[in-house]
């Protein structure tokens, strides 16, 4: 966050495998785990965060997982909030989670 040189830190090749290992550990502890991801927009770098999240997810090699994405547009501020959730593909609550996520996101996308 604070870089006295004004330069971005160099790419760390261990970040993606570390994040993937942390998330995998959550699911190893409970097959009912739900991961919800919402990109921070405070500095208008949400698109970069979304790309980074997608790289982490791809590294995670999530063959046994289900992921759904939606975006919410704040028309007032012109900000697009990228959102996703991940669950195990065999989660017995899968359909209820998908329905709840879609209803939540659709509610935010309704014109106010």
The reported pLDDT for the residue numbered 97 is 95
Report the 10 Å Cβ neighbour count for 101. Answer: 19
pLDDT at 112 over 60: no
pLDDT at 83 over 70: yes
Q: Where would I find the H helices in the chain? A: 15-29, 46-60, 94-109
User: How large is the average pLDDT for residues 69-76?
Assistant: 87
User: How large is the average pLDDT for residues 13-23?
Assistant: 80
pLDDT at 26 over 90: no
The reported pLDDT for the residue numbered 94 is 95
- Mean pLDDT value across the chain: 84
User: How large is the average pLDDT for residues 40-62?
Assistant: 84
Q: Which residues contact 88 (CB under 8 A, 6 or more apart)?
A: 27, 31, 32, 33, 64, 65, 66
The reported pLDDT for the residue numbered 63 is 83
């Amino acid at each position: 966050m604070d870089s006295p040189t004004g330069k971005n830190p160099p790419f760390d090749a261990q970040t993606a495998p570390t994040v993937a290992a942390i998330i995998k550990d959550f699911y190893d502890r409970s097959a009912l785990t739900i991961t919800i991801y919402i990109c921070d927009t405070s500095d208008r770098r949400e698109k970069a965060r979304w790309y980074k999240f997608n790289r982490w997810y791809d590294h995670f090699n999530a063959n046994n997982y289900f992921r759904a994405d939606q975006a919410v547009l704040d028309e007032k501020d012109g900000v697009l909030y990228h959102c996703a959730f991940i669950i195990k593909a065999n989660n017995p609550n899968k359909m209820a989670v998908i329905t709840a996520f879609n209803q939540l996101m659709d509610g935010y996308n309704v014109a106010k």
